[in-house]
Amino acid sequence: MSATVKLNQGREKSLLRHHPWVFSKAIASVSGNPAPGDLVRVEDSGGNFLSWGFFSPASQIRVRAVSFVEAQVPDEKFIRTLVRKSCKRREALVAQGNDGVRLVDSEGDLLPGLVADRYGRFVVISISSQAIEACRDWILKELFELFPDCSFYERSDTRARQKEGLEERCGVIRGEEPPEVIYVLEGGQVKIPVEIPHGHKTGAYLDQRAARIYCSSLCKGRSVLNCFSYTGGFGLWALKGGARSVVNVDVSGPALDAARQGVVENRLDPGRCKFIRADVFDFLRKQVKEGAKYDVVILDPPKFAESAGSLKRACRGYQDIARLGFMLLNDGGRLLTFSCSGLVDPALFQKVTADAALDAGVQAQIRATLRQDSDHPVSLPCPESFYLKGIDAEVM
């Protein structure tokens, strides 16, 4: 018999809407003494079934729900079916010439805390919840069957995992050790550098694929400044799109080295690009002081808002870099600015960007709004799964 989590009166609304998170403050009682990762039945205050989920006593998200049908108990078959369906949904992206694809994206694919990315012959998984830790063997069995020719590597080293009371785990699961840098084809045209063992996330930012391809269409004959460039994905697509010049700026030397080699791998003109290791905020201020100008400025920073308490500071950061970006643009120039902070919703991000334009003394209009690519799906009842938003703003 599974353990039971009973909610306080009136705290069942989110589960009735199939939101997968149950916070500790919503819980009235826990019976059955569940261990970390154990399956629990979640009930409302009257004892009515709400969901099946996995228990995490160390986390503020005490239960992560994976089934909202009482008869659908999350057993091995249930979990493996979710994994298989998720991978199946990515086949269209692979057919479009993408060797790097997110196979499973956490809440967006009804598997909260699981990320699985395929980079050519490597599959990289990242587990950040007790729920998925409990199902790890089932998930790997399914992925092994789906991708029998791939090597598997784990990058379960996130801060979210620490909050769940889980130790970090990284290394080869099956097959060969990945090289420090590999290259995956994107959009059938550009090879993107991926740093599996020591890079950000699982090695690359697949969520920006659509935005990178879009950016390419804006760059022909134009000067481009690519800030927080990491391994240079936006810069490579800008060069592919015919940019006159590209300046990549990042604080990481190894990432810039990978970006530089990416130019060679793609047989693009190294004479049209520069690689500058610097703090982006300092670099932008220096460029403004020197009167530098560009036709396209790309701002793709890391997450500024890690918690609700840091939201105001994060917004100041987004506004500051956007202000500086606007000041560096020629007339008719384009600012592509992004936020991957889920706490910053699209309306707030537009306001922050509008305030930045006002501070910079420019008029600008939105030419396009951008978002995470389709292999990073948004769950309708879980708005937190919509985290990456971008604005293409043209200076008038």
Query: Which are the catalytic amino acids?
Result: 340
Q: Which residues have a Cβ under 8 Å from the Cβ of 224 and sit 6 or more positions away?
A: 235, 238, 243, 245, 246, 247, 294, 295, 296, 297, 298
178 DSSP 8-state letter: P
DSSP assignment of 18-41: T--EEEGGGEEEEES-PPTT-EEE
Backbone angles phi, psi at 339, to 5 degrees: -135, 130
User: What does the DSSP assignment read for 327-352?
Assistant: HTEEEEEEEEEEE--TTS-HHHHHHH
CA dist 229 and 263 (Å) reads 13
| CA triple 82-132-179, angle to 5 deg | 95
CB neighbour burial string for 328-351, b if at least 16 within 10 angstroms, e if fewer? bbeeebbbbbbbbbebbeeebbee
Query: Which tokens belong to 294?
Result: 């560009």
Residue 182 backbone zone (phi > 0: left; psi -120 to 50: alpha; other: beta): beta
